[in-house]
Chains A and B, each alone.
Chain A
């Protein structure tokens, strides 16, 4: 069964303290892995798409990487405005749906 697991569930960082969020997945064939950011009361906001192992994408303080079993979202020198829930989703071969993890709630303290 296709599955996505994110860790940790919650993370508190001091401003400037870099860290990584993990997304482990099990799918029959990966068509794409997606990272989203979600603020309270809002819909998920698209960040990155990764399609194959070894691929990396960057945007400001965020960098996403992909292996055959997991993806990491690296946050470099985070700021309080990076506080949000980060969601990972996979799109498996032969399906139309995205399967989401439960997310990592990130809090960056000033």
Chain B
């Protein structure tokens, strides 16, 4: 595809439910990032994949958050037992490598009610 694609664009879920957010990176990009952005703030790092492996997951806030990238392309961010504080825009980005510029998707707006 031409750019990074994220689905769904919007997700409303009830507190305590499980959600999955999907990211389709730019074809050929081996590096993939997940970020979270709250209103009026800059993006906050969650996790970085190089290929299939998570090279840095230091930004995941707790063990309710988990991400996978099984074939080195599409990635899924999984959130268990959602809390109202998880409400934010979740951004995915991809690049050719850790030193190359990253290109972002349009984000998934998650609202936990």
Contact status A98-B45, CB under 8 Å: yes
Inter-chain contact A99/B99, CB cutoff 8 Å: no
**Smallest beta-carbon distance B41→chain A, Å:** 6
Interchain CB contact (< 8 A) of B99 among A31, A36, A102: A31
Give the Cβ gap from A55 to chain B, nearest Cβ, in Å: 14
* Chain A contact residues: helix, strand, loop or mixed: strand
Q: Is the CB of A98 within 8 A of B33?
A: yes
Residues on A with C-beta less than 8 A from B102 are 34, 46, 98
The answer to whether A103 touches B55 (Cβ under 8 A) is no
Q: Mark A44-65, 1 if CB is under 8 A from B, else 0.
A: 1110010000000000000000
* Binary contact track B1-22/A, C-beta < 8 Å → 1, others 0: 0001010000000000000000
Is A25 an interface position by the 8 A CB rule?
no
The total number of A-B Cβ pairs within 8 Å is 60
CB-CB under 8 A for A91 and B99, given A45-B104, A98-B33: yes
* Residue from the list B43, B56, B91 in contact with A95, Cβ < 8 A: B56
A91 to B107, CA, bound (A): 21
**Residue among B4, B33, B98 with max Cβ neighbours from chain A (10 Å):** B98
Interface centre among B55, B91, B99, by most A CB within 10 Å? B99
Q: How far does the alpha carbon of A96 sit from the alpha carbon of B101 in the complex, in Å?
A: 12
Give the contact-size bracket for chain A: 20 to 34
- Whether, in the assembled complex, A32 has its beta carbon less than 8 Å from a beta carbon of chain B, the answer is yes
B106 close to A (CB within 8 Å): yes
In the bound complex, how far is the Cα of B103 from the Cα of A42, in angstroms? 12
CA distance A49 to B96 in the complex (A): 14
Q: Name B55's closest neighbour in chain A (CB-CB).
A: A96
* B interface with A by C-beta (< 8 Å): 4, 6, 33, 35, 40-45, 48, 50, 55-56, 58-59, 91, 93, 98-99, 101-107
Closest 10 pairs (CB-CB, A-B): A100-B42, A43-B104, A97-B45, A96-B48, A96-B56, A44-B104, A43-B106, A102-B42, A100-B43, A49-B101
